[in-house]
Structure 1
Amino acid sequence: MWILAASCSRQFQSICDMLYNETRQMLEVLDTRDSDIDGLEIEQVQAWILLVLYEVTRSHSHGTGGILSPSTTEDWVTLEERRRTFWMAYLLDRFISVQNGLPLTLNEQVILTRLPAGDTEFQSEQRVQMGFLSEEITATTPTVMSPFAECIVIATICGRALLHKHCASVERVYGHTSQDFWDRHHWINNILSQRITMLTMKYPPASQHIDPMLIFTEMVANTAILFLYKIIELMPCQTPTSSANVIEYKQRATKAAGEIVNITRALSLFTQAKVYY
């Protein structure tokens, strides 16, 4: 956190590299000691995520003007590799935070990195310009993207749901469920439903597909439905309308759980290497 803070200040930018080298050395020592993955602390993973964020930010601000506007295929591939590294760190942050109920580390609203290109375009070095996450989240007619990019959007929705849950926890302490709760909940549910519908229209069911990223994305989408239901399950039903909402979301959660079971069964047909890909 000191590194990121210093990088935003002209006064302390001179010590960024020193802080970075020291932090990286400390993390590498910890990684050497923690040979057992069960002993890995969440804070350790979060620290690596922050280092990746700093590395990407630094690469953009130090002599990469040509990379930001790539003039050659090699430049575009290099930039795309950096994008993918950043977005993988972003996904880890969202999943770790949602799993453990922790505050989000990376603020989506200040991200100016374009979404990653599809695997086909990346592997064939075919230059394409993707949109920004903020555009996809707010678009009235969003476009269906690659499974990796769709996973980023759905993970962002999960992050919004986590923030919604934190607000709901405060409301529950004060013993009331405001209309703001349902407004937030319906908004998150609507954009999630929209993405799932688009995925269903473009791609076959994950249980019938061999693309590991698509399978994972659909698992995340269905898990998000369960997460939304768990949020309202904790809230008191004060009106007939709220009771009806709970019933509706329970039905959706039951269907989502069934989809997860179907996808899990399909995984048994995959080799171990394919599953971990």
Structure 2
Amino acid sequence: MEDLNRLFFQRQQQFAPIVHPSRYLQAFYSAPHMKPPMCLQYAIWALACNGDSKYHAYHDVFYRRARQYADIDEMKGNGEHFITVAHAQTWCILATDEAKSMMFTRAAMSCARAVRLAAMMGLHHLDSPPDESSPTLAPPQDWAELEERRRVTTHLPATEAAFHSGEAMETCTIHDIFKGDHSYSSFAGSVVVCHLFNIILKHAHLPKEADNPENYEYGEYWKRHRDIDNTLSSAFMFLPESLRLPENYREPTAVNMNLNLHASIICLHHAALERIETHNLPESAKRISQDRLSAAAQEIVNIMKITSHLSPGTRTPLAALSLFSAASVYMYFCKENNTPASVDNLDFILSAMEAVGRTHSVTRSFLRQALLDIERNGVQNIVQLPRVTRLSLQLNTAISHNIPLLARTRMSRHSEAQPPMPGLPAGRTKSRGVPASSDHRSVPIKFGPPRRLKRTK
């Protein structure tokens, strides 16, 4: 138990540090009535075991126990036993563990539980005027407890040094950082990346009737596009010193932050290029987006080269998205020009995804999709990459290639949307009493005459 606690705070806490280490360990070694809830303990151990070479065999047992204890607490009394910050932390950690195991349906439900618990406790009003706050929880005993509650939402999290020491630190909202008025912590950087991906997803994949994408100068789509592009430039411009590269190339949080910022540029301009080509917009607009794509993909390659010595375990699942985004850029240019442009970079990206994918199932899924895109778009006919042939044989159809909508471009249109559950066709519901087949095909049911059963004593 002590070793798993150490592993959790040493590795898993790095990217989502929502549990205060010393406060948790103090409670862990306290009297039974003061210990953290069993669901939180088992959730921490399950995430620490996930992918660990020594403890992975225990992952499934710990994960199931965490969910069982959470359900037991939910059924006690009238709900007063599970309306706690510890239970919100439990569901956040379980959602992270499920997403890491590619159980995205469960992860979405666990995340929704965490968000609802946070709202019921009024954690989204911590930095609002007193008359808007919720009296569900007793006042925090000190600033560290207040900051631990804040790490679910509202103002951006403080630095890890301040959080661990309990020293009060003033923070800001997410919109203030793009103005350059405030610095922010590494954990806040993860929040910023999620915020940027969210606005790009809504902009590119949830079009509005009044977008007018055919009007490059005054269309609402292009106004939003330029606003988001300026926001991304501001994110790079006002990046805190602790997150800048190459100075902090040994810090996993800084590396992943920069990878994801460059990936957001690629996601934005891939969508822009699609509309430019669909509506025959000016060639100058196309060159601008192509230049942005080329520069962002090259930066991802450079970052991966200077950090190739780091352990693959320091990569987050979002790092797979950035690698796939860079690969999609080189595939696009190969197909666009019908020439082997930047072959070395594409080969390097695939090799990096192969290395990281040995311990990251999410990266293997992205790699599988990249190989399919290369094959279905005829890129392998333009660029003969032996690595593609070898990996295609290793990563057969047993490997899922379910990648998020944000990362999908025209290069991936050959792949239909994957169903949320294995064996259930996308867009259909499962018939009562009829088991879904594992290969997504309907199975005919044959009816014959009833067989006579032998009488048994």
The TM-score bracket by the shorter chain reads 0.5 to 0.7
Is the alpha carbon distance of 1:151 and 1:243 closer, same or farther for their aligned partners in structure 2, counting shifts above 3 Å? Answer: farther
Aligned equivalent of 2:161: 120
Amino acid at match of 1:82: R
Amino acid at match of 2:146: L
Q: What secondary structure does 1:114 align onto?
A: coil
Deviation at 1:153, TM superposition (A): 2.1
Q: What secondary structure does 1:149 align onto?
A: helix
Residue by residue over 1:149-168, the C-alpha shift from the partner in whole angstroms, topping out at 9 and shown as x without a partner, is 13322321221111111344
Query: Are residue 213 (structure 1) and residue 213 (structure 2) matched?
Result: no
- Of 30, 53, 58, the residue aligned with 2:120 is 58
Residue by residue over 1:145-193, the C-alpha shift from the partner in whole angstroms, topping out at 9 and shown as x without a partner, is 1232133223212211111113448689x98456111100000000110
Residue by residue over 1:46-67, the C-alpha shift from the partner in whole angstroms, topping out at 9 and shown as x without a partner, is 1111111122223333543523
- Of 54, 58, 82, the residue aligned with 2:149 is 82
TM-score (norm 1): 0.64
Aligned equivalent of 1:129: 170
- Of 282, 285, 292, the residue aligned with 1:245 is 285
Query: Are residue 264 (structure 1) and residue 304 (structure 2) matched?
Result: yes
Structural RMSD (CA): 3.7
Q: Which has the larger radius of gyration?
A: 2
Among all aligned residue pairs of Structure 1 and Structure 2, give the percentage whose two residues are the same amino acid: 20
Aligned equivalent of 2:109: 47
Higher RCO (C-alpha under 8 Å, 6+ residues apart):
1
Between 1:144-153 and 1:202-211, the stretch displaced more is: 202-211
Residue by residue over 1:100-148, the C-alpha shift from the partner in whole angstroms, topping out at 9 and shown as x without a partner, is xxxxxxxxxxxxx1110011211222111211224445xx444331232
Deviation at 1:249, TM superposition (A): 2.0
Amino acid at match of 1:148: F
Aligned equivalent of 1:37: 101
Measured in 2, the distance between the counterparts of 1:235 and 1:171 equals: 15
- Of 138, 153, 163, the residue aligned with 2:202 is 163
Measured in 2, the distance between the counterparts of 1:203 and 1:136 equals: 14
Q: Which has the higher helix share?
A: 1
Deviation at 1:217, TM superposition (A): 0.9
**Does the CA-based 8 Å contact 1:144-1:150 persist in structure 2?**
no
Deviation at 1:221, TM superposition (A): 0.3
Question: 5+ unaligned residues in a row in structure 1: which ranges?
Answer: 1-14, 88-112
TM-score (norm 2): 0.41
Measured in 2, the distance between the counterparts of 1:64 and 1:231 equals: 44
Measured in 2, the distance between the counterparts of 1:255 and 1:133 equals: 26
Q: What secondary structure does 1:268 align onto?
A: coil
Q: What secondary structure does 2:184 align onto?
A: coil
Q: What secondary structure does 2:231 align onto?
A: helix
Measured in 2, the distance between the counterparts of 1:165 and 1:145 equals: 28
Give matches, 1:96-107, under 5 Å. Answer: none
Amino acid at match of 2:310: F
